[in-house]
Structure 1
Amino acid sequence: MKKFLQEFKEFALKGNVMDMAVGVIIGAAFGNIVTALTEDFINPLIACIGGAEVAGRIKLGDTGQYLNWGHFVTAIINFLIMAFCIFLMVKAVNKVMTIGKKKEEEKPAEPPKEEVLLTEIRDLLKEKK
């Protein structure tokens, strides 16, 4: 049992697991920000410009059931905003990671061994003449 707990402790305290936990927490908070942006700013703008009710719903017959298409549109807008922001963040991180690295100078490729041997043979033949 002690070994099992030790293995779990090593796993839980690894850098990757901790980084992932922080990422999930920040991602959830970022999701709330995007949802608020969409519902409080973007949806009213769409409603003002297009005259469409983004939080709309359609009544399905006399059953009292509604088809809430507005929530679906809001979820799509949230997804697109989050995907775009994540794309920009990944692009920025990749750019920052390459700033510190110098481009390695390309070394001239060494000729194949056959070519080196043929060159040596040629030089030896020239010396004999």
Structure 2
Amino acid sequence: MAKLSRDTLVNRMFSDAKNYPYGFSRSGDFSINESKALAQYGCLIAALVDGQIESQNIEDDGLLAAAFGKKEPEGLAEKAWVKYQKQINRYRPGSVHGNHRPTIVEAEDDDDDKDTIEQGDIEVKIEDE
């Protein structure tokens, strides 16, 4: 694996095609300044959090502490990263009309070797072989 440097990561544009396919600025979740900060510092913060590079100065230590919730985010990049993490890890409830499958309830057995299964308003009879 190639050695990553802080300067290379700051110059690399950060994007998240999975969660923000049209970019941070077009999502409506971030302000213009926050989206610029994410694009500029996102690769650096992601590499610091993932342990790909070591922190080299106080600024890096502050980014790591804010990313892990050990301190309140102070700078624009720290605030944008914390907001980004909250957005991608938020609870997304399913649809009200989502994947509802009818429940199958077994009825009482009859004496004549037939099983009856009720599904909604439909009664299905299954005969044993």
* Same fold per superposition (TM over 0.5): no
Larger radius of gyration between Structure 1 and Structure 2: 1
Normalization by structure 1: what TM-score? 0.29
Normalization by structure 2: what TM-score? 0.29
Q: Which structure is higher in strand share?
A: 2
Q: For CA contacts below 8 A with separation 6 or more, give which structure has more relative contact order.
A: 2
Q: Which structure is higher in helix share?
A: 1
